[in-house]
Amino acid sequence: MHALSLKLEEKIHEEAERIVKRRKISRNAYINEAVKAYNALQRRRDLREQLAVESKLVAADSLAMLKELELIVDLHEA
């Protein structure tokens, strides 16, 4: 475990303290939970960005393949 010094804006600190007291958990547990949730959010955002980039890379090939498949289906149904 790592120790660190943290400075929070007053309103953020006050709200966190209210939540900690209401949930009856330690401030440390609350901050760990919050950072874990934010890390997960960031991973999802990063993945979404990566997917958008990769989708653009294969978009033209995907459309070409779709057209070929449609031609095959059309020939088969004729």
Residue 78 has pLDDT above 80, yes or no: no
Q: What is the pTM of this model?
A: 0.67
Measured CA to CA, the distance from residue 38 to residue 15 in angstroms comes to 17
At 39, is the pLDDT very low, low, confident or very high (cuts 50, 70, 90)?
A: very high
Three state DSSP letters for the chain: CCCCCCCCCHHHHHHHHHHHHHHCCCHHHHHHHHHHHHHHHHHHHHHHHHHHHHHHHHHHHHHHHHHHHHHHHHHHHC
Q: Confidence class of residue 71 from pLDDT cuts 50, 70 and 90?
A: confident
